[in-house]
Amino acid sequence: MKRACWAVLLGLPLLAQAAEIPLYPTGPSEDAAFLRFFNAGEQPLALSAANGASLTLDAQQRASDFLTVPAGKPIQGTLKQGEQSAELDVSVEPGEFATVIGLPSAAGLSLHTLREQPDDFNALKASLAFYNADASCADASLQVAGRAVDIFKAVAHGDVQRRFINPLKLSVQLQCAGTAAGAPLELGQLEAGQRYSVLLVPSAQGPRLFQAVDNLAN
């Protein structure tokens, strides 16, 4: 979906040739708030906003960029995946980055919102976050693949942890209750000054990891 439609979705002015940009190096202004959407399913996830705008995320592009939204004001609409649908009604606090995850299941489509406040910027490090949206993975931890080195440890369901790491090529392994779960996830080369997220979501095959680059839609 074109970023112009994202701007319409949130009532923002349209910008010609909008581009992805890194998150603010010194943090957002106090009245700014940011929202993105993530598709945890295999079918396209379509958002129809209350004002008539829309966006679609599929298996090739699961995550939207972070969209600037009015702080403290409701963003409403409907998210649909196949025959399942769920109503969206979310607001984001000033300075907050919120991610709405669409989680399909036999019981229907559910929406899970995870929130974080930005940390300080470090131009020499990469910033990596771990989002846990899977209640079935107890004491969810993320290790360097092939090594017993914890990057994140015992992240509770619904929580987000973020830390700075050296820029490097990295592959990560999920641990649930101290046992490896699923295949390692290759993150590729992490760049200094960039922000990344690893999202843990449930699936029919068990806990699953995905990567997203944390950019702002301009």
Mean pLDDT of residues grouped by 10 in the chain (218 residues)?
41 33 46 92 92 86 93 94 95 95 93 90 94 96 96 97 96 97 97 97 95 92
**Cα atoms in the 13 Å half-sphere on the side-chain side of 16:** 0
pLDDT of residue 51: 72
Which of 134, 140, 155, 151 lies closest to 203, judged by CA? 134
On the CB side of 212, how many CA atoms lie within 13 Å of its CA? 26
CB 151 within 8 A of CB 165: yes
Map out the domains of the chain as residue ranges.
3-217
With contact defined as beta carbons under 8 Å apart, do 105 and 43 qualify? no
pLDDT at 218: 74
Please say whether the beta carbons of 207 and 174 come within 8 A: yes
User: Hey, how many other C-beta atoms are within 10 angstroms of the C-beta on 187?
Assistant: 19
